[in-house]
């Protein structure tokens, strides 16, 4: 491996960076909203199937090809599975850039909510007494604040702040990323654990947990629940976007990627469940209504719950601040990896410096982030029904989040399974691992994953008709 590409200073650095990439908006904002939308208990059976059948093996593939070749995703695929496979690598890099644009727009808004904690966003007792599953009759204060914020230019400034932080962290590659994740990743665990303890010690906090965990076998006959769970798993584990391969390429070749995949998936999914428990407990204690878009749960509803947490203003504000600070730092450790994937692919392919590659990635993506949030765009939409800015974001989110990741997963498993040969990758992984992947790994990569993904993609496309 050429040292010019940079290396992690330690195995811990890699684990922190990869789990920091995995843990992000997906775990806090999207997981709880998906789990709610798809009916709590109906969600987690598909979710666990998605973890063991797709998530974990594909992470082994993406980590594996990174260390095996020491290259970023498109070129790693090219080296192992030929020129045509490189194409899917670039497709995934393109998708990563789309996602980066709106991911950072959302982080800009979260930053705005964090700043709101210094004003009157979080005040004890201001909340509408909804019951879950009921349509709101009153506008909660956080919603009003959020829409007021959208109608200003502030989010554009916040987006630049977030972009600035990202580029600062990425400027030296693995070594500067490692410095940041050593602080951010432990911090977000501490805050999340604090939040869950607070949620569960409230009277009635456990009801939310029951809702989240009581199995609902009727819901799982719906194809969209499966697509929801599969896309959630891909996104949450940072798969299908070239990220994990880029990070893995900075590891020495003898890294135990089977073990690392298990560790990172475990950390990610535990965080996701802890976040789900924290959020659902608040939801049920304060009988809040999470109806609405993906963002409404974290941006409008939880702030209402926070306002009920204490009668002492500074404590309420502190909780509000910490919740959005948590979202911002968890988001940044993910967005840096979203940017690193495309940047490292360009450095490898075009043989350009990191600075140039970062510029090429940052300019169009930052324009995209601003477009998602420009007041004139959103204002116009607000006058009509629904927000145009949010809908640019929603459309990209729908197609990229729901389909692109799964398509990349499908093609990469076919390429690695059939062109390189699943057995070759399995041998390479086993060579440095204390675990021994059996022949079932080949069957998963060659048959099970492609068939499952194809079925879900086709049936979801079929459902788009309505
Ligand atoms: N996994 C991140 C999250 O859950 C998002 C992400 C996806 C980051 C893909 C990098 C690559 O928020």
26-72 pLDDT tens trace: 999 888 888 877 777 778 788 899 999 999 999 999 999 999 999 99
Q: Which residue's CA is the closest to the ligand 1 atom numbered 11? A: 238
Q: What's the domain count of the chain?
A: 1
- Cβ(233)–Cβ(47) below 8 Å: yes
Q: How far apart are the first and last CA of the chain?
A: 50
**Minimum-distance ligand 1 atom for the alpha carbon of 405:** 9
Q: Does pLDDT of 147 surpass 80?
A: no
Q: Does pLDDT of 173 surpass 60?
A: yes
pLDDT band at 21 (very low <50, low <70, confident <90, very high): very high
Q: What separation in Å is there between the alpha carbon of 331 and the centre of ligand 1?
A: 8
**Minimum-distance ligand 1 atom for the alpha carbon of 338:** 10
pTM, 2 dp: 0.91
| DSSP label of 133 | T
User: Cα torsion for 35, 38, 39, 40, to the nearest 10°?
Assistant: -20
- Give the model's pLDDT for residue 125: 59
- Give the model's pLDDT for residue 390: 60
Q: What separation in Å is there between the alpha carbon of 204 and the centre of ligand 1?
A: 32
**Minimum-distance ligand 1 atom for the alpha carbon of 334:** 8
Does this complex have an ipTM over 0.90? yes
**Minimum-distance ligand 1 atom for the alpha carbon of 331:** 12
What is d(CA 308, CA 319) in angstroms, rounded to the nearest whole number? Answer: 10
Up-side HSE of residue 280: CA atoms within 13 Å toward CB? 26
Angle at 44 between CA 40 and CA 73, to 5 degrees: 125
| Close Cβ partners of 442 (under 8 Å, ≥ 6 residues apart) | 417, 422, 423, 426
Q: Which residue has the higher pLDDT, 197 or 227?
A: 197
Q: What separation in Å is there between the alpha carbon of 237 and the centre of ligand 1?
A: 6
- Cβ(99)–Cβ(369) below 8 Å: no
Residue in 98, 106, 231, 334 to alter for ligand 1 test, most ligand atoms within 8 A of Cβ: 334
What is d(CA 368, CA 345) in angstroms, rounded to the nearest whole number? Answer: 20
Report, as an integer, the average pLDDT of 139-164: 83
Q: Which residue's CA is the closest to the ligand 1 atom numbered 4? A: 26
**Minimum-distance ligand 1 atom for the alpha carbon of 22:** 1
**Minimum-distance ligand 1 atom for the alpha carbon of 23:** 4
Residue in 32, 238, 327 to alter for ligand 1 test, most ligand atoms within 8 A of Cβ: 238
Q: Which runs of consecutive H residues, i.e. helices, occur in 82-203?
A: 83-116, 141-150, 154-170, 174-200
Q: What is the per-residue pLDDT across 272-318, written as a single tens digit (0 to 9) for each?
A: 999 999 888 887 777 666 555 667 778 877 887 887 777 888 888 89
Residue keyed to tokens 């990425």: 170
What is d(CA 92, CA 104) in angstroms, rounded to the nearest whole number? Answer: 18
**Minimum-distance ligand 1 atom for the alpha carbon of 235:** 7
Q: Does pLDDT of 408 surpass 60?
A: yes
Ligand 1 residue neighbourhood (C-beta within 6 Å): 21-22, 24-27, 235-236, 238, 241, 243, 334, 337-338
Q: Which residue has the higher pLDDT, 140 or 41?
A: 41
Q: What separation in Å is there between the alpha carbon of 416 and the centre of ligand 1?
A: 23
Residue in 19, 23, 24 to alter for ligand 1 test, most ligand atoms within 8 A of Cβ: 24
Residue in 19, 20, 21 to alter for ligand 1 test, most ligand atoms within 8 A of Cβ: 21
Q: Dihedrals φ, ψ of 152, to 5°?
A: -115, 180
- Give the model's pLDDT for residue 187: 96
Q: Which residue's CA is the closest to the ligand 1 atom numbered 6? A: 238
The per-residue pLDDT of the chain, averaged, comes to 87
Lowest mean pLDDT among 103-112, 360-369, 380-389: 380-389
* 434 burial via Cβ count (<10 Å: 0-12, 13-18, 19+): exposed
- Give the model's pLDDT for residue 304: 78
Report, as an integer, the average pLDDT of 246-260: 96
- Give the model's pLDDT for residue 383: 43
pLDDT band at 207 (very low <50, low <70, confident <90, very high): confident
- Cβ(89)–Cβ(76) below 8 Å: yes
Q: What separation in Å is there between the alpha carbon of 134 and the centre of ligand 1?
A: 32
pLDDT band at 375 (very low <50, low <70, confident <90, very high): low
Residue 165, domain CATH: 1.20.1740.10
Q: Which residue has the higher pLDDT, 206 or 353?
A: 353
Q: Dihedrals φ, ψ of 169, to 5°?
A: -70, -30
**Minimum-distance ligand 1 atom for the alpha carbon of 238:** 9
By residue range, what is the domain housing residue 96?
3-463
- Give the model's pLDDT for residue 290: 58
Quick count: other Cβ atoms within 10 Å of Cβ 249?
26
**How does DSSP assign 310-355, residue by residue?**
-SSHHHHHHHHHHHHHHHHHHHHHHHHHHHHHHHHHHHHHH---HH
Q: Which residue's CA is the closest to the ligand 1 atom numbered 9? A: 238
């Amino acid at each position: 491996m050429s040292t010019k590409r940079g290396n992690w200073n330690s195995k811990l650095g890699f684990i922190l960076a990869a789990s920091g990439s995995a843990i992000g908006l997906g775990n806090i904002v999207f997981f709880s909203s998906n789990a709610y939308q798809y009916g709590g208990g109906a969600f987690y059976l598909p979710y666990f199937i998605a973890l063991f059948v797709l998530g974990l093996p594909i992470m082994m593939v993406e980590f594996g090809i990174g260390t095996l070749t020491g290259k970023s995703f498109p070129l790693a695929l090219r080296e192992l599975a030929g020129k045509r496979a490189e194409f899917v690598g670039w497709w995934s890099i393109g998708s990563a850039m789309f996602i980066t644009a709106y991911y950072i727009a959302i982080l800009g808004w979260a930053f705005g909510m964090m700043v709101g904690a210094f004003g009157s966003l979080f005040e004890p007792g201001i909340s509408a007494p909804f019951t879950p599953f009921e349509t709101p009759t009153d506008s909660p204060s956080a919603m009003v604040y959020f829409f007021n914020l959208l109608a200003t230019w502030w989010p554009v400034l916040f987006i630049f702040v977030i972009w600035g932080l990202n580029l600062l962290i990425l400027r030296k590659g693995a070594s500067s990323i490692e410095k940041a994740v050593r602080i951010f990743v432990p911090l977000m665990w501490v805050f999340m654990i604090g939040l869950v303890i607070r949620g569960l010690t409230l009277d009635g906090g456990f009801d939310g947990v029951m809702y989240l965990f009581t199995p609902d076998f009727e819901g799982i006959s719906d194809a969209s629940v499966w697509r929801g769970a599969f896309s959630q798993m891909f996104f949450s584990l940072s798969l299908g976007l070239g990220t994990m391969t880029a990070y893995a390429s900075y590891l020495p070749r003898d890294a135990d990627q089977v073990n690392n995949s298990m560790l990172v998936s475990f950390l990610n999914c535990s965080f996701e469940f802890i976040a789900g428990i924290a959020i659902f407990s608040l939801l049920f204690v304060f009988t809040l209504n999470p109806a609405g878009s993906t963002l409404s749960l974290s941006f409008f509803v939880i702030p209402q719950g926070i306002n009920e947490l204490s009668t002492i203003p500074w404590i309420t504000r502190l909780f509000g601040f910490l919740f959005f600070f948590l979202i911002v730092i968890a988001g940044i450790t993910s967005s840096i990896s979203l940017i690193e994937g495309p940047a490292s692919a360009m450095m490898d392919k075009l043989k350009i410096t990191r600075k140039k590659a970062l510029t090429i990635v940052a300019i169009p993506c930052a324009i995209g982030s601003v477009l998602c949030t420009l007041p004139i765009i959103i204002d116009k939409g607000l006058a009509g029904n629904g927000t145009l800015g949010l809908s640019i974001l929603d459309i990209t989110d729908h197609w990229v989040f729901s389909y692109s990741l799964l398509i990349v997963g499908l093609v990469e498993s076919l390429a690695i399974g059939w062109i390189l040969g699943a057995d070759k990758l399995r041998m390479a992984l086993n060579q440095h691992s204390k675990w021994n992947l059996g022949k079932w790994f080949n069957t998963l990569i060659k048959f099970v994953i492609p068939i499952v993904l194809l079925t879900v993609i086709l049936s979801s496309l079929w459902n788009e008709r309505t």
